């Protein structure tokens, strides 16, 4: 903390993480003796660079680019690029640190990294975004590669940006499909990547319920968000026999006691780029309300926050308990505030942490790398089946870790411990690294 007093997000992430792995450290004095914690919290490498580009008016702009290669003990660095005005070194380090353990949990050979820029793609023309991406990649290409570091998308970096970044990489270094993931299907992308995080969230939730001899059939679910994660969470939840009561965006939410139809949401959000209020204009049984879906009283069983960070506050968590919810599985990253997490504990509400429950996206990204390496594309079913097994395994390992340390159903601590164990083992075996 003394070295990086301004890196509040990063310091908070470390603090929260270490609190949950104390029992592991007590069992392994060699981790303390070899200063494993000092090493694991220091990124292996961080690159910060200038990104100059010219806007449509001919003005020269300068943004800041980052790539933090946090930990490569178990495989090439892997993690998204975020383009958003709030991006700084602290945010990139916080996300990179979390990514190390999320990737470890998938059981696939991928290390952790993260990167991005304070560039804001909102309101920019396609040509401006392309010029920015080309300039960004002109520097980044020196530091990445299919066996070294494989970036993907995150906030502000979708299919369009990945296409521009990949195109520039190929011009500079030649064909290397496996250098980025989230690519278009015509140039090495994987089937089922679009659905992966939402589907994976439901496979994880199914496994969590199965541990208590329960299932999704007949369950009532509140989903927040109407984006990539939410749409495919709604689809899979419905296929598994649940009724999804809500979907939302940053203005308001729709409630339909008969169940939200994901195809209508998909049409509105993915095709028409409209608002969730349009849903109620099309589906008679649905009603639209302004405000947060978490401030709306209705009885339900499971909460799937799939919109954004800190959307469930302590107060909203109390309401969630009053409405009868027994499970919260995190589709979004960090959707619950620390007060909300404390409230879940108080009410014995089971929490599926983001690191575990939303790992389906990065897992399928790693499957995209495998397909690129063997120069083959797998069918949708094959990718989906593998995703399901990976999510079941993530839950099983988190539960086993929680059981081993007598933590009951604290699947947050379980996921942190399971993710940490593998990285720690690999680092110890590789000497003082």
Q: Which has the closest alpha carbon to 232: 208, 198, 205?
A: 198
> Restricting to residues 229-288, which ones interact with ligand NDP according to CB under 6 A?
229-230, 248-250
Q: Does 336 bind ligand NDP (CB under 6 A)?
A: no
Say if CB 197 and CB 223 are below 8 A apart: no
Give the distance from CA 80 to its chain's centroid.
9
Sole window of 106-114, 254-262, 302-310, 315-323 interacting with ligand NDP (rule: CB under 6 A): 302-310
**Least distance between ligand NDP and beta carbon 193 (Å):** 8
Distance between CA 97 and CA 100 in Å, rounded? 5
Which strands form 60-71's sheet, in the order they lie side by side?
A: 45-54, 60-71, 111-117, 77-83, 149-152
Q: Which of 19, 27, 114, 220 is catalytic?
A: 114
Based on the shown chain and the rule CB under 6 A, indicate whether residue 337 belongs to the binding site for ligand NDP.
no
User: Which of residues 103, 104, 117, 197 is near ligand NDP by CB under 6 A?
Assistant: 197
Specify whether the backbone of 51 is left (phi greater than 0), alpha (psi in -120 to 50) or beta.
Answer: beta
3-state secondary structure at position 153 = coil
Strand partners, 66: 48, 116
Scanning 133-141, 202-210, 307-315, 421-429 for contacts with ligand NDP by CB under 6 A, the matching segment is: 307-315
Using the rule CB under 6 A, is 310 a contact of ligand NDP? no
CB nearest ligand NDP: which residue?
227
Which positions from 343 through 402 interact with ligand NDP, judged by CB under 6 A? 358, 361
- Out of 225, 352, 414, 419, the only residue in the binding site for ligand NDP (CB under 6 A) is 225
Bridge partner residues of 51 (DSSP)? 63
Q: How far is the CB of 294 from ligand NDP (least distance, A)?
A: 9
Residue whose pair of structure tokens reads 């990737």 in the numeric block: 103
- If the CB atoms of residues 195 and 427 are measured against ligand NDP, the closer one turns out to be 195
| Choice between 226 and 383, CB closer to ligand NDP | 226
> Buried b / exposed e across 71-95, counting CB within 10 Å, b at 16+?
bbbbbbbbbbbbbbeebbbbbbbbb
153 is in an annotated binding site: yes
Q: At its nearest, how many Å lie between ligand NDP and the CB of residue 313? A: 12
Residue 226, interface with ligand NDP (CB under 6 A)?
A: yes
Q: Report whether 139 contacts 109 (CB < 8 A).
A: no
Find the largest Cα–Cα distance for the chain. 65
Whether residue 114 lies in the annotated active site? yes
| CB closer to ligand NDP, 331 vs 352 | 331
According to the annotation, is 228 in a ligand binding site?
yes
> Which residue's entry shows tokens 């010029």?
131
Q: Would you tell me which residues interact with ligand NDP (CB under 6 A)? A: 197, 225-230, 248-250, 306-308, 311, 331-333, 358, 361
Q: Binding site for NAD(+): which residues?
A: 197, 228
């Amino acid at each position: 903390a003394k070295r990086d007093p301004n890196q509040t997000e990063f310091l908070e992430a470390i603090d929260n993480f270490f609190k949950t792995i104390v029992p592991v450290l007590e069992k392994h004095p060699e981790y303390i003796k070899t200063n494993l914690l000092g090493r694991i919290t220091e990124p292996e490498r961080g690159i910060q660079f200038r990104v100059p580009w010219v806007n449509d008016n001919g003005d020269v702009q300068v943004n800041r680019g980052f790539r933090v290669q946090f930990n490569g003990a178990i495989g090439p660095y892997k993690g998204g690029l975020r383009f958003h005005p709030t991006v700084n070194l602290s945010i990139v380090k916080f996300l990179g640190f979390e990514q190390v353990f999320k990737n470890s949990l998938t059981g696939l050979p991928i290390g952790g990294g993260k990167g991005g820029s304070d560039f804001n793609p909102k309101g920019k023309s396609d040509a401006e975004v392309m010029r920015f991406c080309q300039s960004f990649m002109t520097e980044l290409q020196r530091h990445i590669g299919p066996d070294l570091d494989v970036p993907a998308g995150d906030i502000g970096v979708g299919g369009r940006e990945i296409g521009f970044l990949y195109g520039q990489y190929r011009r500079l270094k030649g064909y290397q499909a496996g250098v980025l993931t989230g690519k278009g299907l015509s140039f090495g992308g994987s089937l089922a990547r679009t659905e992966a995080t939402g589907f994976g969230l439901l496979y994880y939730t199914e496994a969590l319920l199965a541990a208590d001899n329960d299932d999704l059939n007949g369950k009532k679910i509140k989903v927040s968000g109407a984006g990539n994660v939410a749409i495919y969470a709604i689809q899979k939840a419905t296929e598994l026999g649940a009724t999804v009561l809500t979907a939302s965006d940053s203005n308001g939410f729709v409630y339909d006691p008969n169940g939200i139809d994901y195809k209508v949401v998909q049409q509105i959000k993915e095709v028409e780029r409209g608002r969730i209020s349009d849903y109620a204009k099309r589906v008679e049984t649905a009603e639209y309300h302004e405000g947060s879906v978490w401030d709306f009283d209705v009885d339900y069983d499971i909460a799937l926050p799939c919109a954004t960070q800190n959307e469930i506050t302590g107060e909203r968590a109390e309401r969630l308990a009053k409405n009868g919810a027994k499970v919260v599985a995190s589709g979004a990253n960090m959707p619950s505030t620390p007060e909300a997490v404390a409230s879940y504990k108080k009410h014995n509400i089971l929490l599926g942490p983001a690191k575990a429950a939303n790992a389906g996206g990065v897992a399928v990204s790693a499957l995209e790398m495998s397909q690129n390496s063997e120069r083959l594309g797998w069918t949708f079913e094959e990718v989906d089946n593998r995703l399901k097994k990976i999510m079941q395994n993530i839950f099983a390992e988190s539960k086993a870790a929680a059981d081993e340390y007598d933590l009951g159903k604290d699947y947050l601590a379980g996921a942190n411990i399971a993710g940490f164990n593998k990285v720690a083992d690999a680092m110890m075996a590789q000497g003082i690294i």
